[in-house]
Every structure is written in C-alpha cells, then in structure tokens.
A = this chain, B = another copy of it.
C-alpha cells in the first residue's frame, strides 16, 4: 500500500541483465544474472524462455531507449537539420565520457554472438536501420544530394567514434568525428 510496488522479476531481470551484459559481455553466467536481480531461476525461463531470450529482450529495450535518446538529442538542438545532425556527436562525446563506457553494446553483441542465426542480430540490425532512417531524414531536410549514402557515412563515423572511445580513451574522438561530419554536410 504505502510501500512502492517492487518491480516484478521480469523488470528486475531486464535491468540487471542490461547492466551485467554490458559490463561483462553476453557470456556472463545465468547464476550471476539471477543473483544480481534477486530473481528465482525459474522466473527467467518463465518470462524469457532462456538466456538467449533474455539477451534479445535486453537489446530490444536498450535499442528503444537509445533511439529515443537520438531523437531527444536532435530535438534539443532545434530545427536546423545541420545543428541536429552535429548534435549527435556532442551527445556521443558525453556517452563516451561516462564512467564505465567501453564501446557500443550492439556491436559488442554482434561480434560476441558468432552464430549468424542468433536472433539478437535481427534486433541490432533493426536498431541500425532506425538510426539510419533518423539521420537520412535530416539529410533530406538539409537537401543533401545523396542522403542515403550520407547516412551510411554518418553511421560509419558513429561506429568509428564509439570504437575509438572504447579503445583509445585519450583524445576526443567525438570532436574529431564531428569535424568530419561537418565537412560531410557542408558543400
């Protein structure tokens, strides 16, 4: 009643797995996930069917949040498509600087799950398509002659920036990539 309802085992598992899978990789043990979430073993298999199902659901909800973050970032930058696009790299700079950052979770999942048939790949592919569409929309508004190709190039810059942030913490990869992006949208 007066006590706030404790999140159910499904929510607790998603939250704990989101954190543990990012920090320890998808090969983190089921026991560690259950212990961190304070959830019974059985609940995992009831709600997600197994570890793979949990991984997929974690990626799906993270993708939802990250896509919303892209939208919010661009909306906060105003109406100018150019400013909206460049704001993405400022945001990525913040993300890289966050304690505990060590790379793009979607790329990490794709590289770690070497079975090309793993359902997680569909989730990451869908996420990239969404980001590509967000970028392309701005590039169209900007009147870019080849918006689809330019969105490809933006994604290359984003992936490269996240990789650089994970492996070469010195320097400011987001600012370096922002320069390249500015060239890309400055005729």
Interface residues of A (CB under 8 A from B): 23-25, 27, 102-104, 106-108, 110-112, 114, 116, 124-125, 128, 149, 152-153, 155-161, 163-164, 166-168, 171, 173, 176-177, 179-180, 183-184
Q: How far is the CA of A106 from the CA of B167 in the complex (A)?
A: 10
- What 17 additional pairs, Cβ within 8 angstroms, besides A25-B112, A157-B180? A25-B114, A102-B116, A103-B107, A107-B107, A107-B166, A152-B168, A152-B171, A152-B176, A153-B180, A155-B168, A156-B160, A156-B163, A156-B173, A156-B176, A160-B160, A183-B183, A183-B184
| Residues in B whose Cβ lies below 8 Å from that of A102 | 111, 114, 116
In the complex, residue of chain B having the shortest beta-carbon distance to the beta carbon of A167: B110
Q: How far is the CA of A106 from the CA of B168 in the complex (A)?
A: 13
Give min CB distance, A154 to chain B, whole Å: 10
A163 CB contact (under 8 Å) in B23, B114, B149, B159 = B159
Give min CB distance, A148 to chain B, whole Å: 9
In the complex, residue of chain B having the shortest beta-carbon distance to the beta carbon of A104: B163
Q: How far is the CA of A67 from the CA of B6 in the complex (A)?
A: 54
Q: How far is the CA of A155 from the CA of B166 in the complex (A)?
A: 13
| Residues in B whose Cβ lies below 8 Å from that of A155 | 160, 164, 168
| Residues in B whose Cβ lies below 8 Å from that of A125 | 167-168
In the complex, residue of chain B having the shortest beta-carbon distance to the beta carbon of A161: B156
Q: How far is the CA of A157 from the CA of B154 in the complex (A)?
A: 10
Q: How far is the CA of A184 from the CA of B157 in the complex (A)?
A: 13
Q: What 8 pairs between A and B have smallest CB-CB spacing?
A: A160-B160, A156-B160, A159-B163, A108-B111, A159-B160, A153-B176, A183-B183, A152-B176
